Amino acid sequence: MERKLPAHYRVNDETDICLCPVCLRQYRETNSYLITRINREQTKERCDFCNYRFGYDYRIRSKQRLRYFVKGAEIRA
């Protein structure tokens, strides 16, 4: 089952955000984002999503908005 995030949590292009494991799962379950951890040596910080649990920084990119530049032309995937 594909889940949808509320509009104010959607990512248009690319953003860096600190997420705990519970909130990270919400982004992964939508299957609409490419998620990569930024710094493997980072200590845990407070989650930007729930502001309650602790997690790590992730770079989140929307799969629908990935852009490729080929000889000055922008191609959307």
Q: Say if residue 69's pLDDT is above 50.
A: no
**CA 27, CA 33: separation in Å to the nearest integer?**
7
pLDDT at 10: 58
pTM of the entire predicted model:
0.70
**CA 55, CA 7: separation in Å to the nearest integer?**
22
Q: What is the DSSP code (8-state) at residue 42? A: P
CB-count burial class (<10 Å; 0-12, 13-18, 19+) for 8: exposed
Parse the chain into domains and list their residue ranges. 7-76
Q: Say if residue 38's pLDDT is above 70.
A: yes
